[in-house]
């Protein structure tokens, strides 16, 4: 005799209760998200396997993405789009568009406020720092920060946002509470990527024509010393508008454990690993063409460097000072972020890479 329908439903429900939660929703894992500026998509790379396991397509992103960052719990990705003149928010689990906000200019490198209420968006062509309220998706402030506003970073105490300007040759300090500029630090050349020290007292700043970086005292605004990059016995290539937008080195970052500072030699095709805080050169690692950005795995084991001229990412084993993998991604990879994300079930399938 067939079982009563009600028994089948109850039995099925009881069985479902016994199924482990991980089979119904994928556990959070660590991923590297790579923004491919020319192809308009985002490559998703599993850590530590270093395999491309997915792509957020240009149909979702597109419009020449410039920067990508994640919120701290890995649920939302924020992307600045050069051609659209806006920022978009993407659900990290479903990889679907949540919202977009027109910022009225060419947006560059993004930063979130400590409470994640505000997204800071520098406009390269306007010299403004647009402040977007992530709850209302409205622009709430536009302080002037200098011509060629480019890079941003939150101070370790969360009270200030530093904004580097290429044209104004300065760092602007924006107070998070008032959304206004409190001071500016002038430098000899255009400010490219920079890194704030863990105690907030120093900045390590790449300048447009310098093969190396400067250490800046953030209290006095003075340059304490210049740290040269090695040349490896070769002349430093000339920075041109066509070849590199007049920048020699682009990409510098401190590892999460604060043991290493990694800097790109963008026109020379290698990265330099410095000990921190000594800034002693520990070694160099050859990578792909025009290394552009640096991020790290959460455990500080690997540094990831985007090689924008050959469409790859180098995974560098910091302790061994070697390239552990060369990962094929999309067209013209530049900015990247690492996040622990619960992606949709079944989404981790290797698509390409080596």
Domain ranges of the chain: 25-341
Other C-beta atoms within 10 Å of 138: how many? 10
Rounded CA gap, 77 and 94, in Å?
A: 11
Question: Given CA atoms 340, 342, 344, 349 in this order, what sign does their dihedral have?
Answer: positive
Tokens encoding 235? 């002349």
The per-residue pLDDT string of the chain (354 residues; one tens digit each, 9 = 90 and over) reads: 444 433 433 444 344 444 444 444 578 999 999 999 999 999 999 999 999 999 999 999 999 999 999 999 999 999 999 999 999 999 999 999 999 999 999 999 999 999 999 999 999 999 999 999 999 999 999 999 999 999 999 999 999 999 999 999 999 999 999 999 999 999 999 999 999 999 999 999 999 999 999 999 999 999 999 999 999 998 888 777 665 567 899 999 999 999 999 999 999 999 999 999 999 999 999 999 999 999 999 999 999 999 999 999 999 999 999 999 999 999 999 999 999 999 986 566 555 433
Task: State the pLDDT at residue 246.
Answer: 79
Rounded CA gap, 204 and 272, in Å?
A: 14
* Closest alpha carbon to 57 in 305, 301, 330: 330
Host H or E run for residue 90: strand 86-91
Cβ proximity of 40 and 58 under 8 Å: yes
Residues in the chain: 354
Other C-beta atoms within 10 Å of 24: how many? 9
Tokens encoding 292? 């552009």
Tokens encoding 219? 């209290």
Task: Record the pTM.
Answer: 0.91
Class of domain 25-341: mainly beta
Tokens encoding 186? 């002038």
Task: State the pLDDT at residue 213.
Answer: 98
At residue 6, what are phi and psi to the nearest 5 degrees? Answer: -65, -35
């Amino acid at each position: 005799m067939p079982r009563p329908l009600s028994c089948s439903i109850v039995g099925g429900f009881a069985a479902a209760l016994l199924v482990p939660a991980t089979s119904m929703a994928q556990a959070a894992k660590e991923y590297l998200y790579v923004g491919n500026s020319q192809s308009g998509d985002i490559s998703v790379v599993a850590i530590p396997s270093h395999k491309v396991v997915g792509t957020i397509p240009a149909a979702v992103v597109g419009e020449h993405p410039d920067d990508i960052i994640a919120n701290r719990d890995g649920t939302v990705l924020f992307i600045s789009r050069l051609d659209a003149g806006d920022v978009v928010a993407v659900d990290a689990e479903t990889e679907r568009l949540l919202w977009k906000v027109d910022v009225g200019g060419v947006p560059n490198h993004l930063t979130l406020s400590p409470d994640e209420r505000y997204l800071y968006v520098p406009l390269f062509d306007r010299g403004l720092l647009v402040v977007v309220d992530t709850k209302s998706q409205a622009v709430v402030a536009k302080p002037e920060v200098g011509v060629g506003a480019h890079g941003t970073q939150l101070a370790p105490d969360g009270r200030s946002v530093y904004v580097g300007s290429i044209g104004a040759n300065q760092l602007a300090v924006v107070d998070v509470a008032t959304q206004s500029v409190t001071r500016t630090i002038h430098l000899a050349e255009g400010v490219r990527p920079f890194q704030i020290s863990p105690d907030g007292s120093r900045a390590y700043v790449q300048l447009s024509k310098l093969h190396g970086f400067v250490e800046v005292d953030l209290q006095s605004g003075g340059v304490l010393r210049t740290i040269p990059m090695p040349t490896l016995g070769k002349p430093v290539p000339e920075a041109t508008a066509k070849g590199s937008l007049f920048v020699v080195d682009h990409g510098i970052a401190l590892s999460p454990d604060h043991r290493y500072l990694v800097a790109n030699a963008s026109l020379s095709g290698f990265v330099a690993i410095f000990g921190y805080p000594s800034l002693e050169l520990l070694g160099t690692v050859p990578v792909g063409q025009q290394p552009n950005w640096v991020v790290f795995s959460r455990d500080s084991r690997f540094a990831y460097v985007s090689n924008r001229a050959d469409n790859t990412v180098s995974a560098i084993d910091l302790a061994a000072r070697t390239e552990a993998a060369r990962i094929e991604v999309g067209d013209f990879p530049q900015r990247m972020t690492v996040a622990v994300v619960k992606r949709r079930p079944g989404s981790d399938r290797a698509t390409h890479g080596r």
